[in-house]
Amino acid sequence: MTKLESTKYSVLDLASVTQGHTPADSFKNSLDLAKKVEEFGYTRYWFAEHHNMANVASSATAILIGHIAGGTKTMRVGSGGIMLPNHAPLIVAEQFGTLASIYPGRIDLGLGRAPGTDQTTAHAIRGENFKAMHNFPRDIERLQQFFSAENSHSNVRAIPGEGLEIPIWVLGSSTDSAMVAAGLGLPYAFASHFAPTYFMDAIRLYRENFKPSASLEKPYVISCVNVVAADADEEAERLATSVKQLFMGIVTGRRQLLQPPVDNMEDIWNMHEEAAVNQMLAYSFIGGPAKIKKQMEVFLEKTGVDEVMATSHIYDHQARVHSYKIFSEIFK
């Protein structure tokens, strides 16, 4: 079996809101996509927690996880991730304990330590707790305690949640998160789809410093990447102008709903914006089946990751579904 054939492939969804549509449309599309990718052999379907972004509707992450898990049968569903500074560990344990009780053996809990938003919105989320010190590793350990059967004698218990096997993942975009995941012996998912700079250093440090735990015997790495696949390279490049416009909005601070593709990005961005966007999109796979397969073989040889998580900001829903179908076929 080749490295490509042994690598798992999954989905990261931000419930992107496209121009001319609403979050309600995004949720319908997410469920339809989830049902399709389950058929295509995808391993898991994660949502990322973001707030105060007009083009991202995955703010109530746990609710969307339940929506997707309820509409699928076997695929794992989870968070990529829940931003721990925004939540008390007990509340997270109760929410995911509830999900895991309804959908046993199918729920993943990915955790991040960023706010998932701007500072003003973070203040609105946390209220008086905004200035409180947050200790990411300690909060993860508190979650593990709430999920443990041994916590049944504690004065504070997670019901439901206690005694359930809910895999915890550490998410990150820096070497700091890699050391947290390694020290706790947990699987590690890196946000290389928008923060590629420290990716190679982070996964090296994670593997070198990994301490086996009751959860995981050896290191396990997910790399999240951007994927825009189509039947032909030219069509994929055109579809990818939507994600390029999205990232240009991040670079310039002029965010907008996910835009339709355009024929020529040169009419939209300047050379500095182009350079910044291309830097953020360093780990992107754009093209037809043959091109993407070759690129993925090189990527897997270079990184040795165990799983690839694809996020695809494609304006047309059917084109997005087709992209995920093409991507799944390169692993078979």
pLDDT tens column, 178-217: 999 999 999 999 999 989 999 999 999 999 999 999 999 9
What was the pLDDT predicted at 161? 96
Q: Which residue positions in the chain have pLDDT lower than 50? A: 133
What was the pLDDT predicted at 253? 86
For 230, phi then psi, to 5°, come to: -150, 175
What was the pLDDT predicted at 158? 97
What was the pLDDT predicted at 196? 92
**How many other C-beta atoms can be found within 10 angstroms of the C-beta atom of residue 23?**
15
CA distances from 257 to 17, 246, 296 (A): 6, 8, 29
Q: What angle do CA 37, 42, 47 make, to 5 degrees?
A: 80
What was the pLDDT predicted at 126? 54
Whether this prediction's pTM lies above 0.75 is answered by: yes
Return the amino acid letter for 128.
E
Alpha-carbon dihedral sign for residues 85, 86, 90, 92: negative
CA 194 distance to own-chain centroid = 11
What was the pLDDT predicted at 227? 98
Question: pLDDT tens across 113-127, in order?
Answer: 865 555 665 556 555
Rg (CA), the chain: 19
What was the pLDDT predicted at 294? 97
Return the amino acid letter for 166.
I
Q: Is 52 left (phi over 0), alpha (psi -120 to 50) or beta?
A: left
For 325, phi then psi, to 5°, come to: -65, -45
DSSP string covering 234-299, please? Answer: HHHHHHTHHHHHHHHHHHHT---SBPPP-S-GGGT--HHHHHHHHHHTSSEEEE-HHHHHHHHHHH
